[in-house]
Amino acid sequence: MNIPDQARVAHATLSPDKVMSKLVSLAKRRGFIFPSSEIYGGLSSCFDYGPLGSEMKKNVKDLWWTSMTRKHQNIVGIDASIMMNPTVWEASGHVSSFNDPMIDDRTTKRRYRADHLIENHIEKLRRDGREEDAHRVGASYERASEAENQNRAFYDIIITEEIKAPDTGSSDWTEVRQFNLMFQCNMGALADASGIVYLRPETAQGIFVNFHNVRESGRMRVPFGIAQIGKAFRNEIVKGNFIFRMVEFEQMEMQYFVKPGAQEEAFEAWREERFNWYVERLGIGQEKLHWYRHDKLAHYADLAYDIKFAFPFGIEEIEGIHSRTDFDLKQHQEFSGKNMEYIDQATNERYIPYVVETSAGCDRLFLALLCDAYNEDVVDGEQRVMLKFSPKIAPVKAAVLPLMKKGEMGEKAAGLRDALAGDFLVQYDDAGSIGKRYRRQDEIGTPFCVTVDHQTLEDETVTVRHRDTAAQERIGISKVKEFLYANLT
C-alpha cells in the first residue's frame, strides 16, 4: 500500500479501569451490543448484538470458519441441534460432573461459588501481609479440593475462617451444595422426568455423536477434523464483565480425530496454529496473548492449555486447547451400544481415535477485539475515539461522504455507494461537518472514508482517508472498489 503523508496524531494513555465503562457505553450507543430485553429491565448476563455488532460477529465467525474448514482439506463443518437425546449428557459426564460448589446466604438470598470465596480470602490474607495465614488456609483448601466430601470441607473452611460475602458482608451461610450448570427444560406435554432435555453446555458433543455420519458421508480418513459454530448454555452463577461470562454464548469448536499415539504431535501443531491465528489473522498484539497450562484437568482431558487475553479486568481465557483422549467416543460407545471404532483401510487396524479439541468463545473473542481496538488520540488538535479493528473484522468497511448534500456531489456519492454496496458494507453519511463525519466513522472502526468533493467534479478523483493515521490521498473514483479489495482482505 502506498502510505500517504500522516496527519498530526498524538496517542492518549488510558487508565485500564475506565476502558470497560467507556466500551460498554460505546457498544450500546453505536449499536454493537445492547442489554437483552432492556425495556423490561434486562436479564442478567444476556445481551443482544445490534446492527454493527451482528455484522462484526459474522465477520469473526466467517474468518474462523474459513481458517478452520476451507483452508484444511481434512476438516469439514456441521451444524448440530442444540437439544439432544439426554443420554448424551450422561455419557459425556455433564450430568454427574458439570458442577460448581455453591453456598447461599440465607439473609440476602444471594448465591456464591464456595471455592471462589476461599480463593479470594487467601488472596486478601496475602494482600494484608499475613503470609503465614494465607499459607495455612491455602493448604487446607488444597486438602479440601481433593477431599471425598468436598462440600463439607469447603463449608468448614468458610465457617472457621469467618469468611463473609464480598458484596454485603453477611455470613448467614447454608451448607455447600453442588450446582449443575446445565439448563434443564421439558420437551413435550409431560412435565415429569421422562421429558427432561438439556440446552447443550458445549457444542463438542454434537460433533462426537456425528463421528460416523460425517466420516462415512464425507469418506473422511483419520486424521480429520469436524468444526462447528453454535450456541452453548451454562447456568453461570458468577456473572459479570459485560459479555465475558454469559449464560448463552457462542462457541467455535473443532475436534480433530487422530490415531492413538499421534495426539501429542497434533496437540502441539494446533497450539501453534491457533495462537498464530489471533496474531496473524486478527491482528491482536502478541504481547496481549498468554499461554496457561492447566494443572487441574477436566474429567475428559490429559493435557490442556488456554490462550488468554489481557482484558482491562485481568488476563483471562478466550480459547481452550484440550487433549480429550478417546474419552468421549468411548463413553458414547458404552452408552449407545454403537461401535465407535475407526477401521484403517490401509492396515485394517481398528481403534477408537484420540481427539484434540480447539474451543474458542466467539463472544469473549468479540470482547477481546473491542478491548484491543479501543483507542483515544488527538488528531490535528481534536480529541477522537477510535476502534482500531483489523479491516477484516471491521463491521463497516468504508464510508462514502459527499462534501455537499445536494447536486452533482450528492449524486456522484450515491452512485459510488451503490457501486460498492454489493461487495462491501458501506455507510453513506451526508450530515454535519466532514470532521464530525470522520469522527463518527472512527468511533465504529471504519478503515476508510471516501469523500466526494469539488475536485471530484473536475477530475473524477476522490479523497480516501485512512482511519489510523488520518492521512489522506486522492485516487480515481473508478478505482475505489479495487482499492478496497486490495486493502481490506
Chain residues that interact with ligand ATP, rule: CB under 6 A: 202, 234, 236, 245-246, 249, 251, 317-320, 359-361, 363-364
Nearer Cβ to ligand ATP, position 322 or 465?
322
Strand order in the sheet with 111-113: 111-113, 99-105, 173-180
Nearer Cβ to ligand ATP, position 75 or 318?
318
Cβ–Cβ < 8 Å for 239, 247: yes
Nearer Cβ to ligand ATP, position 243 or 409?
243
CB of 99 to ligand ATP, least distance (A): 12
Closest C-alpha among 341, 318, 339 to residue 257: 341
CB of 232 to ligand ATP, least distance (A): 7
Closest C-alpha among 449, 431, 310, 312 to residue 379: 449
The torsion defined by the Cα of 185, 186, 187 and 190, in degrees rounded to 10, comes to 180
Radius of gyration of the chain (CA): 27
CB of 202 to ligand ATP, least distance (A): 6
CB of 310 to ligand ATP, least distance (A): 15
Nearer Cβ to ligand ATP, position 253 or 442?
253
Closest C-alpha among 58, 62, 17, 54 to residue 34: 54
Nearer Cβ to ligand ATP, position 182 or 403?
182
Give the 3-state secondary structure of residue 344. Answer: coil
Count helices and strands in the chain by DSSP H and E runs:
16, 24
CB of 323 to ligand ATP, least distance (A): 13
Residue nearest to ligand ATP (CB): 361
Cβ–Cβ < 8 Å for 80, 231: no
CB of 484 to ligand ATP, least distance (A): 31
Per-residue cell: 191 = 412435565
Nearer Cβ to ligand ATP, position 319 or 442?
319
Nearer Cβ to ligand ATP, position 320 or 391?
320
Cβ–Cβ < 8 Å for 449, 441: yes
Q: Give phi and psi for 56, each to the nearest 5.
A: -70, -40
Nearer Cβ to ligand ATP, position 317 or 376?
317
Tell how far CA 239 is from the center of its chain. Answer: 15
Strand ranges (E), 119-223? 173-180, 183-186, 196-199
Per-residue cell: 308 = 488468554
Tell how far CA 269 is from the center of its chain. Answer: 22
Query: Does an H or E element contain 473, and which?
Result: strand 472-476
CB of 245 to ligand ATP, least distance (A): 4
Nearer Cβ to ligand ATP, position 55 or 363?
363
CB of 308 to ligand ATP, least distance (A): 9
Nearer Cβ to ligand ATP, position 72 or 245?
245
CB of 357 to ligand ATP, least distance (A): 9
CB of 360 to ligand ATP, least distance (A): 6
CA distances from 126 to 109, 122, 157 (A): 29, 6, 17
Closest C-alpha among 254, 253, 233 to residue 245: 233
